Amino acid sequence: MLEKKIEAALNKQVNAELWSSYLYLSMSYDMDNKGFEGIASWFASQTKEEFEHATRIMKYIGERGGKVLLMPVAEVKQEWTSPKEAFEETLKHEKVVTQSIHNLMDMASDIRDYATKSMLKWFVDEQVEEEATATKILEKLTRIESSPAGLYALDHELGKR
């Protein structure tokens, strides 16, 4: 059985993953409205990934005899001034998620919950990838900041995801 403290913290992480999904969905629609179809499609894929992250934790809570609590998902921003601003916020948000996963890992270590640690290991690795991807795209966006042709090409590239 899951300890109540870790069960509550995992449910909070489920909510954070669902919020992430909601955030990227909002970015996807905003980018589409601004004519960046490829970037919109990239964020649409990201939305699905975040939903899968939430699902992964919910499945685990169930397997350990816990109860999934679906709490309200807070409102997200609706507009960004540019793709660069959206990716700046993406990277900032992913860093917060990484910290949250690390805090969960600390909690699981403290109570010697090895199964939860094992489940969380996947998320630790995933966060490395998520931050690296957002950083790479942000670097590209910074490099092509004043080049419409560059932005067009990057939009096309990200649409292939």
Please report, as ranges, the residues that interact with ligand FEO according to CB under 6 A.
17, 20, 50, 53, 94, 97, 130
E-assigned strand segments in the chain:
none
110 secondary structure, DSSP code:
H
Q: Which is nearer to ligand FEO, 5 or 92 (CB)?
A: 92
Q: Which residue, among 86, 10, 81, has the nearest Cα to 47 in the 3D structure?
A: 86
Q: How far apart are CA 161 and CA 158, in angstroms?
A: 6
Please check whether residue 94 is in contact with residue 72, taking contact to mean a CB–CB distance below 8 angstroms.
no
Supply the minimum distance, in Å, between the C-beta of residue 94 and ligand FEO. Answer: 5
Please check whether residue 78 is in contact with residue 32, taking contact to mean a CB–CB distance below 8 angstroms.
no
Supply the minimum distance, in Å, between the C-beta of residue 141 and ligand FEO. Answer: 18
Which residue's C-beta sits nearest to ligand FEO? 53
Q: Which is nearer to ligand FEO, 98 or 152 (CB)?
A: 98
Supply the minimum distance, in Å, between the C-beta of residue 61 and ligand FEO. Answer: 16
Residue with tokens 């931050």: 131
Q: Which is nearer to ligand FEO, 97 or 151 (CB)?
A: 97
Supply the minimum distance, in Å, between the C-beta of residue 53 and ligand FEO. Answer: 4
